[in-house]
């Protein structure tokens, strides 16, 4: 308990004192995970919407794949992305390994199925009758999709929170593809692992608390958007 | 083809991060966790970057993995501490120009009450044999790190083939392994630097030390450009030369004195294995 108190104190000191390294690590965590989440929306929302509305043979299989993907183990993603980005790998020529871009890529792969799966569920929970009514009123296909997305925006913001929560908290993939390089690819989770390994438990606790605070602030903002008109 | 184009488009979209420095300006060093955990790299990396004008990426993993990555051409230079394994990579031609940089030493630590009665034994091999004979708990790294490789060498020399439930493999770094040994009141082999860094958390005293086989020698090796298409040969050599330069060796000589009251590494540029037999 005493250790946690010390950690809390140190977290405050680091943040208030403006420790530049800690700020850099926190900022990178936010930048990498927010970018990955935004990109996962670009892929996940259209894909999830399409899957929710389309009917084709093998659809059940594809949906099962997406649902499995919602629980993709970050270490597995990290391993495969690392191999692909190796100098000897398929995309080795891009020299992306051990850069924040590589971390964004890995996190995108982790977040995209989550956003896709939850978008799919969100659109599907809009009653069938509503859809038919819209079509009966002469809505074009684009209007239909837009109205459905608007109708499903509450659960879809939950999808954003789930996606962001998954990537900001993962450590396996970031450690592997980023390399935990000081000043370059060190984020809150990988720094926590490192400080624990070094035996600096108070610093590790401080970093954990900063991570929790960051997650809370982001979710608070998202919740505010989600509940805005009702709260 | 289409998939590949998709991947490229995807990557281009993702590339919001500042572009990585061009190849010849970036040196990838694969090294062991101890050089990072001790904080030595935090001091040396900025020095190297300032001196060479190159940017450096240090990948701190176990020695086994550090060498395996280098053998695939995924790094430009290694800083490792497993002489026997290093010599194997040299013999295979995967690594070039092995030069000794520095050493520190390993120690055997264990519970105060010392159930295997190894305190005072001068030969590490005799000590591990006693631990096995008395079936006292021993925590091994079990991760192909330099420390683990040295430990395995000790068991082999002691003629201990089979290890029972008393032998715990942590599969983790030195820090976590020390924590486990401390919790389970077990013996373990650790480098002195990490043990010193853990004084606050670990209450296991040193029981066996200063035996020749416990020397922990670090060396640099350059990666053979034949290992892969993008090995930065000049960068690798620049870092290896940097580690042996008198100014760097002087930094190593005093590193840790302010924090632990004693240096963590002894610089040995110019020496060879023969000096330590």
| Residue B68 contacts A, CB cutoff 8 Å | no
The pLDDT-based confidence of B262 (bands split at 50, 70, 90) is confident
Is B230–A201 a contact, with Cβ atoms under 8 angstroms apart?
no
Is A197–B201 a contact, with Cβ atoms under 8 angstroms apart?
no
Q: Where are the alpha helices (DSSP H) in chain B?
A: 2-14, 33-37, 40-52, 63-71, 83-91, 124-133, 146-158, 174-183, 192-197, 233-244, 246-254, 257-260
pLDDT at A126 over 60: yes
Is B176–A88 a contact, with Cβ atoms under 8 angstroms apart?
no
Is B59–A99 a contact, with Cβ atoms under 8 angstroms apart?
no
| Residue B225 contacts A, CB cutoff 8 Å | no
Please list every residue in chain A whose beta carbon sits closer than 8 Å to the beta carbon of residue B13.
39
What's the pLDDT at A4? 83
What's the pLDDT at A159? 93
Tens of pLDDT, residue by residue over A17-44, are 878 888 999 999 999 999 999 999 999 9
ipTM (interface predicted TM):
0.76
> What is d(CA B56, CA B49) in angstroms, rounded to the nearest whole number?
7
Percent of chain B, pLDDT > 70? 91
Please list every residue in chain A whose beta carbon sits closer than 8 Å to the beta carbon of residue B200.
199
The pLDDT-based confidence of A230 (bands split at 50, 70, 90) is low
Closest approach of chain B CAs to the CA of A179, in angstroms? 6
Nearest partner of A4 among A209, A143, A223, judged by Cα: A209
The pLDDT-based confidence of A199 (bands split at 50, 70, 90) is confident
Percent of chain B, pLDDT > 90? 69
For B210, other C-beta atoms within 10 Å of its C-beta total 11
Please list every residue in chain A whose beta carbon sits closer than 8 Å to the beta carbon of residue B57.
98, 179, 181, 184
CATH assignment of A2-226, given 1.10.3720.10, 3.40.1160.10, 3.30.565.10, 1.20.120.720? Answer: 1.10.3720.10
pLDDT at B92 over 90: yes
The pair of three-digit structure tokens given for residue B259, joined into one six-digit string? 């924090």
Mean pLDDT of chain A: 91
Higher pLDDT: A200 or B21? It is A200
The pLDDT-based confidence of B39 (bands split at 50, 70, 90) is confident
| Residue B215 contacts A, CB cutoff 8 Å | no
**What is the rounded average pLDDT of the residues A109-129?**
94
Q: Are A227 and A212 in contact (CB under 8 A)?
A: no
**What is the rounded average pLDDT of the residues B242-254?**
96
Please list every residue in chain A whose beta carbon sits closer than 8 Å to the beta carbon of residue B49.
none
This prediction has a pTM of: 0.83
Closest approach of chain B CAs to the CA of A86, in angstroms? 7
Nearest partner of B235 among B55, B46, B40, B3, judged by Cα: B55
Of A39, A88, A101, the CB nearest to B17: A101
Secondary structure percentages of chain B, helix, strand, coil, to 5: 45, 20, 35
What's the pLDDT at B2? 52
Higher pLDDT: A106 or A154? It is A106
Domains within chain B, CATH numbers bracketed: 24-103+216-270 (3.40.190.10), 105-214 (3.40.190.10)
The pLDDT-based confidence of B122 (bands split at 50, 70, 90) is very high
pLDDT at B85 over 60: yes
Is A95–B230 a contact, with Cβ atoms under 8 angstroms apart?
yes
pLDDT at A93 over 80: yes
Mean pLDDT of chain B: 88
Tens of pLDDT, residue by residue over A146-180, are 999 888 888 889 999 999 999 999 999 999 999 99
Closest approach of chain A CAs to the CA of B102, in angstroms? 21
| Residue B1 contacts A, CB cutoff 8 Å | no
**What is the rounded average pLDDT of the residues A190-194?**
92
Please list every residue in chain B whose beta carbon sits closer than 8 Å to the beta carbon of residue A180.
60
What's the pLDDT at B10? 45
pLDDT at B8 over 80: no
What's the pLDDT at B11? 44
Q: Where are the domains of chain A?
A: 2-226
The pair of three-digit structure tokens given for residue B126, joined into one six-digit string? 């005799």
> What is d(CA B217, CA B86) in angstroms, rounded to the nearest whole number?
11
């Amino acid at each position: 308990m005493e250790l946690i108190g010390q950690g809390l104190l140190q977290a405050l000191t680091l943040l208030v004192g403006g420790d530049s390294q800690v700020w850099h690590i926190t900022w990178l965590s936010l930048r990498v995970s927010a970018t990955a989440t935004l990109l996962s929306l670009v892929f996940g929302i259209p894909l999830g919407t399409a899957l929710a509305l389309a009917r084709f043979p093998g659809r059940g299989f594809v949906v099962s794949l997406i649902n499995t993907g919602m629980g993709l183990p970050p270490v597995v993603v990290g391993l495969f992305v690392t191999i692909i980005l190796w100098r000897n790998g398929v995309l080795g020529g891009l020299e992306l390994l051990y850069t924040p871009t590589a971390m964004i890529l890995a996190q995108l792969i982790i977040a995209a199925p989550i956003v896709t799966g939850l978008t799919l569920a969100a659109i599907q929970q809009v009653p069938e009758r509503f859809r038919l009514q819209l079509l009966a009123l002469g809505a074009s296909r684009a209007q239909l999709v837009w109205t459905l997305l608007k109708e499903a925006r509450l659960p879809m913001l939950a999808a954003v929170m789930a996606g962001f929560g998954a990537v900001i908290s993962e450590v396996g993939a970031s450690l592997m593809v980023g390399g935990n390089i000081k000043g370059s690819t060190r984020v809150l989770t990988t720094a926590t692992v490192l400080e624990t390994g070094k035996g600096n438990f108070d610093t590790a606790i401080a970093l954990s608390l900063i991570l929790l605070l960051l997650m809370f602030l982001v979710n608070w903002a998202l919740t505010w958007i989600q509940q805005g008109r009702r709260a | 083809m289409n998939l590949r184009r998709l991947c490229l488009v995807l990557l281009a979209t993702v590339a919001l991060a500042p572009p990585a420095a061009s190849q010849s300006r970036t040196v990838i060093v694969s090294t062991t966790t101890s050089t990072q955990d001790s904080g030595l790299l935090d001091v040396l990396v900025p020095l190297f970057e300032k001196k060479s004008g190159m940017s450096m990426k240090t990948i701190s993993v176990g020695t086994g993995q550090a060498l395996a990555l280098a053998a695939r051409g995924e790094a430009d230079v290694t800083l490792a501490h497993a002489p026997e394994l290093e010599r194997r990579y040299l013999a295979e031609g995967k690594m070039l120009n092995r030069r000794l940089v520095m050493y520190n030493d390993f120690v055997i630590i264990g519970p105060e009450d010392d159930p295997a009665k190894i305190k005072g034994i001068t030969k590490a091999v005799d000590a591990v044999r006693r631990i096995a004979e008395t079936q006292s708990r021993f925590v091994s790294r079990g991760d192909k790190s330099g420390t683990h490789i040295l430990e395995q060498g000790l068991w082999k020399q002691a003629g201990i083939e089979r290890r029972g439930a008393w032998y715990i493999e942590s599969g983790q770094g030195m820090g976590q392994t020390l924590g486990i040994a401390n919790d389970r009141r077990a013996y373990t082999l650790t480098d002195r630097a990490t043990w010193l860094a853990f004084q606050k958390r670990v209450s296991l005293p040193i029981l066996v030390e200063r035996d020749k086989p416990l020397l922990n020698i670090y060396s640099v090796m350059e990666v053979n450009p034949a290992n892969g298409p993008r090995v930065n040969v000049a960068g690798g050599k620049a870092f290896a030369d940097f580690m042996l330069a008198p100014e760097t060796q002087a930094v190593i000589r005093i590193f840790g004195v302010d924090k632990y009251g004693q240096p963590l590494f002894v610089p040995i540029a110019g020496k060879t294995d023969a000096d330590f037999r």
